[in-house]
Chain A
Amino acid sequence: MTSTHALSDLPRAALRGVLGVAIVGLIWEALVWALNVPSHTMPRPSQMASAVAATPDAYLSGFLRTLVETLIGFAAGAIVGIGNGVLFSKFTRLRQMVFPLFVVSQTIPVIAFGALVVLWFGNTMLAKSVIAFYLTFFPVTVNTLVGLQAVNPKQEALLRSFGASRWQMLIRLQLPTALPQIFVALRLASTLSLVGAIVGEWFGDTTGLGVLLLQAMYNENMVGLWAAILASALLGTTFYGLMALIERTCVFWRNDL
């Protein structure tokens, strides 16, 4: 019932999104025009559109490149993050030893190590995905762990009394219970993996939305900067929306519990 509702909701939500964007765009255009704002403070959407139209290949190839890096980093981060969460919930000692180090790892601004990232991972697409992974796995680990720890001990005892193995407990009870929490992290991770891919592209790359952003930023090309920001927003929103959709179809039983 809920899942079909989610699916039929999709076109309507998409339509609402497009409509919203169009309205915001029109108001933006009108305001900038009416208030005579100089384009280096706030360019008009039509200027951005023509900037994209002037070099569509650069934006398209940048978009696709960043998309692939994001997806690889996200997938790796999600798998490792959930795996870590499960391991940490099973082996307390491991959690006590490694978790603080994970926290430490998250406090390091990768951007400070531009040269080291190239040095260690080269100029490949892998290097970008590694950064996307690096930003992604931690929130997934935290939420998986929190979700697993929230499992009702009475239910666990009940299942165990029926002779459920550890694996069955995990698949049948613990992971499903943790799923809402995990999905929250995955949604956050979808955004963070994009951030990672974009920042990764700042370390000496030639294609990608990050390259476009950086180039526009330092050339004070405000129209180009906004065009790149909007392209990233499109990628991020689509990815996030897809994750939210998957979440709704997967966690539909949540309210029935």
Chain B
Amino acid sequence: MKSRSWQSADVYWGVAGAVLLVVLWEGAVRAFDLPAYILPGILEILVSMVDLQSTLMDATWMTVMEAVSGYVIGSACGILLAVILTLIPTLKRWCLPAAIAINSVPVVAYAPLVLLWFGMGAESKIVMVSLAVGFTVFLSALTGLDQANRKSIDLLRSFGANPLMIIWRLKLPAALPLIASAMRVSTTRSMIVAIVTEMLGAYGGLGWVIYQATLQIDFVQVWAAIFAASLVSLIFFGAVSMIERKVIFWR
């Protein structure tokens, strides 16, 4: 009961914040008479979103499929890799610096290579998203797996638990909050990486729409596509947060 009212307060105030932003934005555009190439009015953008709805729907669907597939693959690989490396500390010592090095290069730098190797279709975007999400989740999971209470580990071990059981019973639950927050942050990143890769080469999707619209100097359409991307990212973020809350509740 209490948690439900807390959630609806979240929604109310979230909406209030959004309304405030819209009013400020539209007000600034009108007050300073800003041309569309500096900042288009928010109403103009919304109208254009309705006009372009079929284009935007197709593009959004494509981008979402790429982002979600990459997200799932990346998260799964990241967690799995972290578990494996926790089980084999020697391997961890050798692999961690390499993983950090790969992760510290902006994923977009790999884009030309990935496009070359995986083509212009959805595969290259899924690979890019998995890379971006995978490393974020991996590094968080690795830290989280390390966070379990040492005394509890010793206790479990004294009862004859094997390393796999310790991970399942103790370390993974302890790592869950960190993994969850990494996965939450990764939702929006997965969309962005998919879009950016599409901008560099694709047959469709929101990034493709943005790229085309920019070249045709159609700023309102650029913003419309970005609004669509934001909306979907928010839904994605909300869904993952909800699942997270459920999982933590079960704990």
Contacts and interface: CB of A to CB of B under 8 A. Distances in A.
A217 B177 CA distance: 38
B104 interface: yes
A64 interface: no
Contact of B106 (A13, A180, A232): A232
A103 B105 contact: no
Interface in B213-230: 214, 222, 225-226, 229-230
A241 B100 contact: yes
B167 interface: no
B48 interface: no
Given A96-B13, A97-B17, A146-B181, A24 B140 contact: no
Contact of B103 (A16, A103, A180, A191): A191
A98 B214 CA distance: 30
A252 interface: no
Contacts of A235: 104
A129 interface: no
Contacts of A93: 13
B16 interface: yes
Contact of A96 (B9, B214, B230): B9
B237 A103 contact: yes
A229 B107 CA distance: 10
Given A119-B38, A188-B136, A237 B93 contact: no
A108 B182 CA distance: 18
B196 interface: yes
B233 A198 contact: no
Given A96-B10, A103-B237, A109-B192, A232 B109 contact: yes
A100 interface: yes
Contact of B97 (A20, A180, A188, A225): A20
B112 A237 contact: no
A184 interface: yes
Nearest to A232: B105
A106 interface: yes
Interface residues of B, number: 59
Chain A at the B interface: SS class: helix
A225 B140 CA distance: 29
Given A142-B181, A184-B143, A187-B139, A198 B97 contact: no
B94 A20 contact: yes
A100 B18 contact: yes
B154 to A, nearest CB: 12
Contacts of B20: 97
A195 interface: yes
12 contacts: A93-B13, A109-B196, A112-B222, A112-B225, A113-B222, A184-B140, A194-B104, A229-B105, A229-B109, A236-B100, A236-B103, A240-B104
Given A16-B93, A109-B210, 17 more contacts: A20-B97, A96-B10, A104-B233, A106-B189, A107-B234, A111-B199, A181-B177, A184-B178, A188-B136, A188-B185, A199-B108, A229-B105, A233-B105, A236-B100, A236-B105, A237-B101, A240-B100
**Which 4 residue pairs across A and B have the least CB separation, nearest first?**
A236-B104, A96-B13, A107-B233, A97-B17
Interface of A: 13, 16-17, 20, 24, 93, 96-101, 103-104, 106-109, 111-113, 116, 119, 138-139, 142-143, 146, 150, 180-181, 184, 187-188, 190-191, 194-195, 198-199, 213, 217, 225, 228-229, 232-237, 239-241, 254-255
Interface of B: 9-10, 12-14, 16-18, 20-21, 38, 93-94, 97-98, 100-113, 136, 139-140, 143, 147, 150, 177-178, 181-182, 184-185, 188-189, 191-192, 195-196, 199, 207, 210, 214, 222, 225-226, 229-230, 233-234, 237
